[in-house]
Amino acid sequence: MEVDPLAVRGRVHSVESFGTVDGPGRRMVVFCQGCPLRCAYCHNPDTWDFAGGSETSVAELLERFERNRAFYRGGGLTVSGGEPLAQPEFAGALFRAAHESPRGRIHTCLDSSGGAWDPCRPERFEELLAHTDLVLLDIKHSDPAAHRWLCGADQERILSFADELSARRLPVLVRHVVVPGITDSPRELRELGRLIARWDNVVGLDLLPYHTMGLPKYERLGIPCRLKDTPPMEASRMGELRELVLRARADERR
């Protein structure tokens, strides 16, 4: 028997009612609880624990969006994290309900690292990807060994997820956090450009400067922060570094 998507429940860390950097336009952003990665630059370590947050239904979230639908005209609904792919049934039900809303289709955006993608069980993600309009895909590091150090996990799942998105021709905006001394070298950025050149569905690239606003959370939670002595990245450099990536991508695609 088919499950009513409105009845599906998941663990949610928080909901942001005025998101402007998590997809096009003004958006309601649902932050899922739980993440399998341990990225050194993560500024939300409070979202890691899968037992944290609170249980919430799709119906509750959709009702909250609908109350303010006029405010989100030209925007939509984004699911972020934590890692939403760790709760694919919940995120999929939410996006399906958004697309099937009686008041009109809601634009959906998935903000993911791909770290919880399971290529051996793609059926778990079918509903989610079938109802996703745009993916914000975090590419952590272009080098496999550096990726393991930075995130505590291999990058194979992420690359497999990106390949799946490409096969489905789902629009992807690549995001890359630029950390001084870790992901800001010309070599790393050129390799990033060569890496993303294999995906025809990439429609944009955002380089995000590393910041230290998450440090108080680590202290409050008693979690060691591996980057506590790393300075913030200069936002003014993002333009020139982005050009490095794009030039390398263009050269690779020739």
Statement: residue 58 has pLDDT above 70:
yes
So what's the pLDDT on residue 1? 61
Q: What is the pLDDT of residues 120-144, one digit of tens each?
A: 999 999 999 999 999 999 999 999 9
Dig out the tokens for 211 from the structure.
Answer: 């910041």
Alpha-carbon distance of 56 to 19, in angstroms, equals 20
Predicted TM-score (pTM) of this structure: 0.96
Please state the φ and ψ torsions of residue 212, each to the nearest 5 degrees: -110, 20
The CATH architecture to which 5-253 belongs is Alpha-Beta Barrel (3.20)
Q: What is the pLDDT of residues 174-205, one digit of tens each?
A: 999 999 999 999 999 999 999 999 999 999 99
Determine the average pLDDT of the residues in 102-125: 97
2 pLDDT band (50/70/90 cuts)? confident
- Residue 41: which of 208, 222, 200, 254 has the closest Cα? 208
Q: What is the pLDDT of residues 215-252, one digit of tens each?
A: 999 999 999 999 999 999 999 999 999 999 999 999 99
